[in-house]
Structure 1
Amino acid sequence: MIQSIPVYDICSLSDVRQDDLLISRFAPYLDAHKNLFFPHRHSFYHLVLFTRGAGTHSIDFERFDVMPGQIYFMVPGQVHSWQFEGFTDGYIINFSEAFIQSFLLQPGYLDSFSFFNGNLKDAVVNLPADSFATVKELFEHIIFEIMKPAPLGSDMVRLLMLQIFIHVNRLNSNPAGSGKLTYNQTLLKNYQKLIEQHYADIKLPKDYAELLYITPNHLNAVCKDLLGLSAGELIRNRTLLEAKRLLTNPQLSISDISLRLNFSDNSYFTKFFKKTESVTPEEFRKQILKP
């Protein structure tokens, strides 16, 4: 059983660090990193296309059935693990935001892709047959660029990756849409970014509304209109997710986790957790970490 929840950077998974990038066929990558079957986090973006295999893949405690033609997009900080049945293959790309951003003049460009928003319903895509063939060919071109370096090879890899991102993003986009966010969509994204930065120390929607220069009622209306959730629910959901992530580390006591998330005491944290999950933090930990 895993003894702690490791956080891997690209350098720790490869002997060669090139522009914050690691690219490999999946089978040899998995063979070299058998410890990745256990729950772990990454400090980088993580992209996997499966071409063969079966089993399950868990991302932030939601389980997905692995199948050929399936592509996964993961963002830094998510906890994931997998359990495969038989031989599994495909492609994997680990990359830092800096690897893409250094090529573009548009800050936060990756945020424009739905599958990099951290929402799991957008992060796992079952590709139609024609799209699978197109994306698979792009991965093959990337592997070729890595195996046979040429002038401006890193830029070619970036271009090929962007083709993958744009192609997959178009599958779930409104063809008639301009691709530009409305004012309220931009407001919601900014609210979600603030929550990501401050969920442990800012607990009330009114304090976020003040940072966004809007009223609490306006913020709540935007969240309900676009997500069907209240502004407070978004804060609580992010706090709960981090609690689950921290509980995968048996070296952290419940008191440690409660303190990290700024709960006044352990009993309040336990009540908060059990209200949504129907189990105590201790029971949840036992379920996650059982052999």
Structure 2
Amino acid sequence: MKSGFPVYDICKFSVSQQQDVIISQLGPYLAALQKLHFPHRHDFYHLVLFTAGGGSHSIDFQNFLVQPFQFYFMAPGQVHSWSFEGEIDGFVINFRADFFKSFLLNPDYLDQFPFLGTQVDHSVIEIPVDSRPVLIDLLNRAVLESENKRRFRVDTIRVMLLQLFLLIGEINTSEKYQTLESSKSTLLKRFEKLIEHNYLELRRPKQYADILCVTPNYLNAVCNDVLGTSAGDIIRNRIVLEAKRKLINLNVTVTEIAYSLNFEDNSYFCKFFKKQTGLSPNSFRSAIH
């Protein structure tokens, strides 16, 4: 474990040091970045499809056993680390958060794909056998396109990535959102998005319910029906997640983390963290060190 907690820009992974998108075979990519197995995060989207190999992969402190034809989707800011076994291969896609900004009329278009969000429950998708040939063909063509110098290369890649997202969206028929009526689906997505942008200031479900123009009871009922947890727990889980992300950095004290998360004092933060996780902040640090 490093004492400093790195946040990498896409330029670190780019030969030209200025790319907005990188698409590559996974084997050569990992060979060039062997030192990145320890926990870190990116300020860009990081997508990985495994076609060979094994081991484990952690996203925001949830562990997954790596298996062929698992597709991992990591949003900017998520913490991840890996420990691979055997000869790893597949594909990797990195793109900046604003890569589609000038391309899509609707700035929220990508929000309809839960796997591009920050909820780890949506981050890993198994690719069924009958979908693999189409997916591999698309990714191989995207790799080739990324290597050429044609005039419309970047826009062609954007189109290919949108094809990929639509394909994954069709594959991922088990999404909880797909069983919802559209009004509840929209409400839940808006609630999760509001939390992502406001969890440091807004801590109570009523504050979010007021913004969403629903009653706190209705918001809570939707969360319980779909996610099996209360609206309050969803907010608290997001605060705990950010605390865990910050606790990885041994150069920052627990007191500094408490204040950065808008807790009035260190004692209250420690009680809150232990109630939610069963561990004190220092115990959590020791467990992941």
**TM-score higher than 0.5:** yes
Q: What TM-score, normalized to structure 1? A: 0.92
Write the mapping of 1:121-270 to structure 2, written as runs, cut at 5 A.
121-173=121-173, 182-270=182-270
- Map of 2:35 onto structure 1: 35
Q: 1:64 — aligned with what? A: 64
Structure 1 residues 178, 287: closer, same or farther in 2, change over 3 A? closer
TM-superposed deviation, 1:179: 10
% of aligned pairs identical? Answer: 48
TM-fit CA distance, 1:55 = 0.5
The one-character-per-residue Cα deviations of 1:11-45 (angstroms, maximum 9, x if unpaired) are 12223255611222112211222231010111111
1:180 and 1:222 map into 2 onto residues whose CA distance is: 10
Aligned counterparts of 1:181 and 1:28: Cα–Cα separation in 2? 44
- The verdict on how the C-alpha distance between 1:249 and 1:37 changes in structure 2, with shifts beyond 3 A counting, is same
Structure 2 matches for 1:72-151, cutoff 5 A? 72-151=72-151
Which deviations, in whole Å up to 9, do the C-alpha atoms of 1:130-185 show, x marking residues without a partner? 2122211111101111222323111221121112111111112379x999971222
Report the Cα distance in structure 2 between the residues aligned to 1:181 and 1:74, rounded to whole angstroms. Answer: 27
Alignment of structure 1 residues 10-25 onto 2, 5 Å: 10-17=10-17, 20-25=20-25
Moved more, 249-258 or 129-138: 129-138
**Equivalent residue letter for 2:222:** V
Q: For 2:178 and 2:69, locate their aligned partners in 1 and report how far apart those are by CA, in whole Å.
A: 28
Q: CA deviation at 1:251?
A: 0.8
TM-score, scaled to structure 2: 0.93
Instruction: Tell me the number of residue pairs that the alignment of Structure 1 and Structure 2 aligns.
Output: 288
Structure 2: which amino acid aligns with 1:151? R
Please name the residue that 2:50 is paired with.
50
C-alpha separation in 2, matches of 1:178 and 1:86: 36
Determine if contact 1:19/1:99 at 8 Å carries over to the other structure.
no
* Local SS of the residue matching 1:55: strand
Query: Contact conserved, 1:273 with 1:281, CA < 8 A, in 2?
Result: yes
**What's the CA shift for 1:286?**
1.2
Aligned letter for 1:100? F
Unaligned 5+ residue runs, structure 1?
A: none
Deviation of 1:87 (Å): 1.9
Once residues 249 and 59 of structure 1 are traced to their aligned partners in structure 2, the CA distance between those partners, rounded to angstroms, is 16
Structure 1 residue runs of 4 or more that deviate by more than 6 Å after TM superposition: 177-181
Distance 1:241 1:69, change over 3 A: same
Distance apart, 1:3 and its partner CA:
1.9
Gaps of 5+ in 2: none
AA partner of residue 210 (structure 1) = D
Change (3 A) 1:110 1:180: farther
Report deviation, 1:101.
Answer: 3.0
Local SS of the residue matching 2:100? helix
Aligned partners of 1:126, 1:205: CA distance in 2, in Å? 34
| C-alpha separation in 2, matches of 1:100 and 1:180 | 28
Write the deviation string for residues 100-143 of structure 1: whole angstroms up to 9, x where unpaired.
23221122111111211322232111211221222111111011
Work out the CA distance in 1 between the residues paired with 2:17 and 2:138: 22
Seen in structure 2, the aligned counterparts of structure 1 residues 141 and 132 have a Cα distance that, compared at 3 Å, is same
Residues 1:200 and 1:174: Cα distance change in structure 2 (over 3 Å)? closer
* Two-structure CA RMSD over aligned residues (Å): 2.1
Deviation at residue 225 of structure 1 after TM alignment = 2.6
> Residue type matched to 1:147 in 2?
E
Matches of 2:22 and 2:7, distance apart in 1? 16
Within 1, Cα distance between the matches of 2:226 and 2:244? 26
Per-residue CA deviations over 1:57-92 (Å, capped at 9, x if unaligned) read 000001111121111111111000000112212111
Residues 197-206 or 146-155, more deviating = 146-155
Deviations 1:176-232 (A, max 9, x none): x99997122212211111111111121111122222233222322222233222111
